[in-house]
Amino acid sequence: MRSIIKQSKWAIPAIAFMSVQLLTTGCKSGGDTSKAKTDSTATAADGYDSTFKVEAQAFGDLQTLRYQIPGFNSLSLQQKQLSYYLYEAALCGRDMIYDMKSKHGILLRKTIEAMYGSYKGDKANPDWKKFEDYCGRFWFSNGNHHHYSNEKFIPECSFEYFTSVVKACDTAQLPKQAGESVDAFIARIKPIVFDPKFEPKVVDQRPNIDNIANSSNNFYEGVTQKEVEAFYANFDTKGNAPSWGLNSKVVKENGKIVEKTWKSGGMYGAAIDKIVGWLQKASAVAENAEQKQALDLLVKYYQTGDLKTWDDYSIAWVKDLKSRIDVVNGFIEVYLDAIGKKGSFESTVSMKDMEETKRIEAIAKEAQWFEDHSPIMKEHKKDTVKGITAKAITVIVECGDAAPSTPIGINLPNADWVRKDHGSKSVSLTNIIHSYNVVGAKSGVVDEFAISDEVKARMKKYGGLASDLHTDMHECIGHASGKINAGVETTDKTLKNYASCLEEARADLVGLYFIMDQKLIDIKVMPDMDVAKAAYDNYMMNGLMTQLTRLKPGEQLEEAHMRNRALIAHWAFEKGAKDKVTELVKKDGKTYVQVNDYAKLRVLFGDLLKEIQRIKSEGDFKAGKNLVENYGVKVDKELHKEILERFAKLGIKPYRGFIQPKLVPVMNGTEIKDVKVEYPDNFFNQMMEYGKNYGYLPVVN
């Protein structure tokens, strides 16, 4: 998916599409949460309110946004109660993502909360604004490593000023050790905050190094990559095997490698027990027997840590097709682990968007046709595509690795064998996309980077639909397509640190290949081929150029989705160079991407899809590594410099994420008689509120 699928199935919005552009500047921190509107005043006829302010605070390279929950008022009381219980279960897991990103994550968060919340000094001081920006960046990234680049960031204020704020806050709130002085505490946290060489990168996927030792996440401690790989080599991952290692930390105790399982009574038990309590309440008001069974299995999984139970839950979850309310809650995406085994906590609570579901359902209905007509090798195709369920959803709340930065599409479960034998769910997050659309129309990215008036007009007219269709196919028929050869183990073993990038490339290529197919017109989800041309123009422009706005000078591509887009675009550019399928051209001293032959570009996308599916099906690590390293990592420094200069003039932020709506129960004694929605408008206040109300874990876990 950032998405949700094992090698993730999150679709991350591309930078240049009108529907999901990287959007506008906003006000600095500040504001009053008392201004948050309730659902009755913030929505028009329980639909989208055109006066709703989407943009909130901006800081660093980040823009916070807000989203509405249209249709919530129309839910039954039982559905509202269910939503509220699942909302609480989602937020109760928040501590875990901070600890997963660094074993110092909760320590640092509680320090920042004490400083930001109790400092009484001069807040007009420019250094305070620098510290405040650091707080915003930290909360946005769930730690002090950038949510996209994985690089550590440090405050722009000096250590001396930082120290003065620590000493001027309520020091009783600081997470000091027993008997520790404030000065000793400051000395202890100094390298965590200010030393760029201390935990420099949360995920390090460079080739020919120990990727575990060089990654600062909290999934492994005191072990090498060779030791971890040798440990998991004893687990059979062929066939219908569980996703071994998904829910544990690997450590060495008394010279022996062991797992610390995330479960009730185990690691993260205090937070997991809170999740379990709310899930049990949700089970009691489930919409139907299928949903209740799935929730009960999720509870059992959290209580036992048994990964076979996780698979049982995943199968039951896929079979629940009737429920209006749905939830993702668990240790799911493996992007945070350099070798792709450990799942980060995340949760998304949602309700089905009845109208928008029609488009994605039309695609899912034809899943077998798409598989049969795929350009991949026959032996790599599924004979029978089972149980692909597709829908559009309205998000109610997101937490953990799904927030504040969120996907726009999700496909789950992650396990290939579960998808093959039992099916999967693919979703498009319509209210998230709606907010992107509202601010995207203002950005100016298309006008700056598209090569001609014809291309600009086409992208402005069809960019939103092209993005939606590509996301739908990426999730619905992309991740769910193809099969691994008999006897070949799972991609975390075969493709290792390249698995996520290659899986995202595979799913993207399925969408790119079929968006230029008459089939989409025939099933009435696309009006004409200009939509496909808009998709191709955007994808090549983004992969070759505009996504570089997310990198600092001198950086290479690290994040899986950015690597996958670059891989596809650069490979197609190189292979089509002889026929000038795509060109980089200069106009008035600026570089532009020009697609000359859309039909030939489609053939190239199909050829690359065939090869990447072969790599996955056969477990060809060497070929996968060569593709990623040769096409998906390196950056042209001169082109990068030009792109950054042009982008800077637009005055927009390259990243965005969301303030979450707040569900408020209306009580009648001990019974919930209604649930209202509030829309907070201050990101900083929400982070402080979450820290106060959902902090269940100690600073050391």
C-alpha span between 345 and 644 (Å, rounded): 34
Q: What are the DSSP calls for 45-107, one per residue?
A: TTB--TT---EEEEETTEEEEE---TTGGGS-HHHHHHHHHHHHHHHTTHHHHHHHH-TTHHH
pTM of structure: 0.84
The mean pLDDT of 303-322, rounded to a whole number, is: 97
Say if 316 falls within a structural domain: yes
Residue 205 falls inside a structural domain: no
pLDDT of residue 37: 36
The model's confidence at residue 22, banded by pLDDT at 50, 70 and 90, is very low
- Residues sharing a CB contact under 8 Å with residue 91, sequence separation 6 or more, in sequence order: 397, 399, 690, 693, 694
Number of domains in the chain: 1
455-470: pLDDT as tens digits: 999 999 999 899 889 9
Average confidence (pLDDT) over 340-358: 94
- For the segment 485-513, what is each residue's pLDDT rounded down to a tens digit? 999 999 989 999 999 999 999 999 999 99
What is the mean predicted confidence (pLDDT) over 265-278? 98
Range of the structural domain that residue 589 is part of: 18-75+267-658
Q: Please report how the helices 560-575 and 598-618 are oriented relative to each other, as an axis angle in degrees rounded to 10.
A: 120
Distant-in-sequence, close-in-space partners of 406: CB < 8 Å, separation ≥ 6: 395, 398, 429, 432, 657, 658
| Cβ proximity of 325 and 351 under 8 Å | yes
Position 391 pLDDT exceeds 50: yes
Query: Above pLDDT 90, what percent of the chain?
Result: 83
Asked if residue 380 has pLDDT above 90, the reply is yes
Question: If residue 386 lies in a helix (H) or strand (E), which one and from where to where?
Answer: none
In a domain? residue 625: yes
User: What's residue 2's pLDDT?
Assistant: 37
The answer to whether residue 399 sits within a structural domain is: yes
Residue 121 in any domain: the answer is no
User: Other CB atoms closer than 10 Å to residue 154's CB: what's the count?
Assistant: 14
Q: In the predicted model, what is the mean pLDDT of residues 280-288?
A: 98
pLDDT of residue 42: 40
CA dist list (Å): 121 to 92, 116, 276, 553: 32, 11, 41, 36
Could you report the per-residue pLDDT of 431-456, keeping only the tens digit for each? 999 999 888 767 788 999 999 999 99
Mean pLDDT of 196-217: 96
pLDDT for residue 39 is more than 90: no
358 domain-assigned: yes
How large is the average pLDDT for residues 87-103? 98
Residue 544 lies in a domain: yes
- Judged by average pLDDT, the poorest of 28-32, 224-228, 564-568 is 28-32
pLDDT for 9 equals 35
DSSP string, 487-536: T---HHHHTGGGHHHHHHHHHHHHHHHHHTSHHHHHTTS-SSTHHHHHHH
Condensed to tens digits (0 to 9), the pLDDT of residues 668-696 reads: 999 999 999 999 999 999 999 999 999 99
- At residue 211, the pLDDT reads 96
Q: Look at residue 261 and tell me if it is in a domain.
A: no
Which pLDDT band holds residue 148 (cuts at 50, 70, 90)?
A: confident
| Digit-coded pLDDT (tens) for 632-653 | 999 999 999 999 999 999 988 9
Under a CB-based contact definition with an 8 Å cutoff, are residues 565 and 14 in contact? yes
**Averaged pLDDT of the chain:** 91
* Residue 92 pLDDT greater than 60, yes or no: yes
